[in-house]
A and B are shown apart, each in its own frame.
Chain A
Amino acid sequence: MAWRKRLAAGVDGINLVATYICHALLVVITSVTVLQVFLRYVMNRPTSWSEEIALFGLIWFGLLAVAIGVRRHEHVAITFLRDKAPPVIGTALDYFAQVTIIIFMFVVMFYGHDLITLAGVQVLPASGWPKWWLYVPTVLGGGLGMLNGFANILLADVRVPGHDVPELNDAH
């Protein structure tokens, strides 16, 4: 069906952009941390802003990565009961999982927005960057996660995470 193809292309396009942003953030985080060592030892100029910036990148990275992970089915789940249940119930549980993801991502987005408002004009102590920037990725990540949850349901793409590709689970 044409609308499905277009939906998939659109959603995956957005995720691709988010993926590139994450890759870039990873480079930035690494560079800032190494720069921090360089400035302290080679230039003898210890910095206080660098940790804050690196963590800033990490938070953006983390929330976007979680959202991308929804579309890529990367969040580990226990599928023992689902695999034992009759296929109809198993599939129902696959959809139910997406619904819970949508609900939670909505909550993150909704209250993330409150956090932005609450942060107001506060600034981070070392870098002087506005504090509300820290909470922007909760809205972006929550929104993208929700979008991906809906897309998974509409595209009937509700696979079980990670099973077939072993290198996906190399966090140990």
Chain B
Amino acid sequence: MPIDLIGISLLLGGFLVLMLLRVPIAFALGLSSLATVLYLHLPPLMVAQRMVNGLNSFTFLAVPFFILVGNVMTEGGISDKLVKLADVLVGRMRGGLAQGNVVASTLFGGISGSSVADVASIGSFLIPAMVRARYPAGYSVAVTVTSSVQGVMIPPSQNMIFYALAAGGLPISTLFLAGYIPGLLLGLSLMVIVYIMARRHNHPMGGRYTFTESIKVLADAGIGLFTIVIIIGGILTGIFTATESAGVAVVYALLVTVFWYRSLSWKAVGRIFSTTLTTLAMVTAIIMTSSVFGFLLSYLRVPAVLADAMFSISRDPIFVLMAVNVFLLVLGMLMDMGILILLLTPILLPIVTQVGVDPIHFGIIMVLNLGIGLCTPPVGTSLLVGAGVARISLEEATKSLWPFYIAMVVVLLLVTYIPALSLTLPALVR
């Protein structure tokens, strides 16, 4: 079958033009798909049908639940408790507040899959606290923003669910497990940078706690952190599916905030519903229209065409992965992470699997890579929120980010070229 260049240009070109003309991305996807469907003489009702099918997935159902868990816990004041716990754990190190910032994000990442929520909640405690302790504002933002990327790596992670969906149904539980070691490695590498900077600039140490205080802080945060056990324990023991564990975690989060923390007002409930709806409106729109778009991409055999082009240069896995990583880093600077995962997975996955990359491994590479894009100007959402919390310009924040960018790219290279980092944990459990 010959390649339909007109169809491909209509689909991809139409999408790009509409998107650049400020048409909301979900609708740019939908309209370019519609035009292509008409051009190909496919029945137009398949647009609506594919949209419904895109949502008709028990796997995707976990996304609203995980967003709810994060929102309930944040409204219930979990961030404050995690910040305290992190301070107890690493506060005595030099640059204690900065180290605590990284650790608090590691813990928060186990409850929420949202890097932006991490910056908005942990950051609103720690950025002002760090500035009060005489850390430069730009540096405070840099630590907060880069450590928040652990949120997308450490389960639960909405973005991994998007990947699983776009890859045509990979097991969420395996992807989640695969994310732990790379996520922790990222946190560790940031702590190394923070340590070096603390030595060099003689950053202060954090608070001192008595033993009883420490136990109290640990217990207080521990009750909230038990959510992690529900999510992962449930999946590991086979008691729940990922989606069910997410649903149970919602109920647990509600019980903890209402009866233990006693911090959930009716007003807060309203806010939880409202922010959840807002996030989901955006997410479902893109899930639905990208489902039509993705179908047309494979119908027009775009992945095969691109794979041929790529393999005409080289079939060396090291080269292919490097090229894909550079491509993703560049796009990650310009576009939203979730959208890129949904759009690019169907195109890139067939290419990398042909050179022997495991789909689970590639998911981790992709999520980490695009996670870096959350911290880069001009549109890195976490960076924008972090700079907003600190009330500083993007330029000022970006200046302090360089050492952290280097650490993140090093971790990305390690994760890319050492598959065992991602695949060992899932293999052990199986």
* A138 near B51: Cβ-Cβ < 8 Å: yes
B103-126 contact mask (Cβ, 8 Å, vs A): 1 or 0: 000000000011111001000000
Given A55-B61, A103-B31, CB of A61 within 8 Å of CB of B280: yes
Q: Taking A69-B278, A161-B24 as contacts, is the C-beta distance between A78 and B116 under 8 angstroms?
A: no
Q: Is there contact, CB below 8 Å, between B47 and A107?
A: yes
Residues of A within 8 A of B (CB): 19, 22-23, 26, 29-30, 33-34, 36-37, 41, 51, 54-55, 58-59, 61-63, 65-66, 68-69, 72, 74-82, 93-94, 96-97, 100-101, 103-104, 107-108, 111-112, 114-115, 118, 134-135, 138, 160-161, 166-172
Q: With A23-B277, A61-B280, A171-B67 as known contacts, state yes or no: A111 contacts B26, CB within 8 Å.
A: no
Q: Are the CB atoms of A166 and B280 closer together than 8 Å? A: no
Q: A77-B25, A107-B48, A172-B338 are in contact. List 15 more A-B contacts (CB 8 A).
A: A26-B273, A29-B64, A30-B251, A34-B244, A54-B61, A58-B55, A61-B64, A76-B24, A81-B21, A96-B21, A108-B47, A118-B45, A135-B48, A138-B48, A167-B120
8 A Cβ contacts from B239-262 to A = 239-240, 243-244, 247-248, 250-251
Is B278 within 8 A of A168, CB to CB? yes
Q: With a CB–CB cut-off of 8 A, which chain A residues contact B338?
A: 171-172
Pairs A–B under 8 Å by Cβ, sample size 16: A33-B61, A37-B247, A65-B284, A66-B26, A75-B27, A75-B282, A78-B19, A80-B20, A81-B22, A93-B21, A100-B28, A107-B44, A118-B45, A171-B114, A172-B115, A172-B338
Complex Cα spacing A50 to B324, Å: 41
Chain B residues bordering chain A, tally (CB within 8 A): 76
Of the candidates A51, A54, A104, A111, the one having the most CB atoms from chain B within 10 angstroms of its own CB is A104
- The docked-state distance in angstroms from the alpha carbon of A115 to that of B279 is 28
A69 in contact with B48 given A26-B276, A55-B61, A76-B25 (CB within 8 Å) = no
In the complex, the answer to whether B281 meets A101 with C-beta atoms within 8 Å is no
Interface of B is mostly: helix
Q: Using Cβ atoms and an 8 Å threshold, which residues of chain B touch A61?
A: 64, 280, 284
Shortest Cβ distance from B166 into chain A, in angstroms?
15
The CA of A161 and the CA of B381, in the complex, are separated in Å by 13
Taking CB as reference atom, which chain A residue is nearest B269?
A: A23
Bound-state CA distance A103–B33 (Å) is: 13
Inter-chain contacts of A79 with B (CB < 8 A): 22
Q: Is A26 in contact with B48, judged by CB distance below 8 angstroms? A: no
From A22, A23, A30, A80, residue with most partner B Cβ within 10 Å: A30
A16 CB to closest chain B CB, in angstroms?
12
Contact A62 B24, beta carbon cutoff 8 Å: no
* B244 proximity list for chain A (CB < 8 A): 33-34, 36-37
Out of B52, B61, B240, B384, name the residue touching A135 (CB < 8 Å). B52
Q: Which of B90-98, B151-159, B202-210 contacts A (4 or more CB under 8 A)?
A: B151-159
Q: Judging by beta carbons under 8 Å apart, are A170 and B281 in contact?
A: no
* Measured CA separation A41–B244 after assembly (Å): 12
Question: B146-189: which have CB < 8 Å to A?
Answer: 151-152, 158-159
Interface presence of B298 (CB below 8 A): no
Q: Decide: B281 and A115 in contact? CB cutoff 8 A.
A: no
Contact of A76 among B65, B282, B287 (CB under 8 A): B282
Q: Smallest CB–CB gap between B99 and chain A, Å?
A: 24
Q: Is the CB of A33 within 8 A of B284?
A: no
Give min CB distance, B305 to chain A, whole Å: 25
Chain A CB within 8 A of B263 CB: no
List which B259-298 residues lie within 8 A (CB) of chain A.
Answer: 273, 275-285, 287-288
Interface contacts (Cβ under 8 Å), in number, total 218
Contact A171 B247 (CB under 8 A): no
Interface of A is mostly: helix
Q: Closest CB-CB distance, B212 to chain A, in whole Å? A: 36
Report the minimal beta-carbon distance from A39 to chain B, rounded to whole angstroms.
11
- Check A170–B116 contact: CB distance below 8 A: yes
The 8 Å CB contact of B45, one of A34, A111, A170, is: A111
Which of chain A's residues have a CB closer than 8 A to the CB of B378?
80
B31 contacts A100, CB within 8 Å?
yes
The answer to whether A100 and B23 have CB atoms under 8 Å apart is: yes
Alpha-carbon distance A72/B277, docked complex (angstroms): 11
Q: Which residues of B contact A104 (CB under 8 A)?
A: 27, 30-31, 34
User: B247 and A30: CB pair below 8 A?
Assistant: yes
| A-chain residues with CB within 8 Å of residue B131 when the two chains form the complex | none
Chain A residue nearest to B251 in the complex (CB) = A34
Q: Which residue of the partner chain B has the closest CB to A79? A: B22
Cα-based distance from A115 to B46 in the complex (angstroms): 9
- A58 near B61: Cβ-Cβ < 8 Å: yes
List, in ascending order, chain A residues with CB within 8 A of B19's CB.
77-78
The 6 closest A-B pairs by CB, nearest first: A69-B281, A75-B24, A33-B247, A62-B284, A65-B281, A111-B45
Give Cα distance in the complex from A51 to B56, angstroms: 10
Closest-CB distance, B111 to chain A (whole angstroms): 13
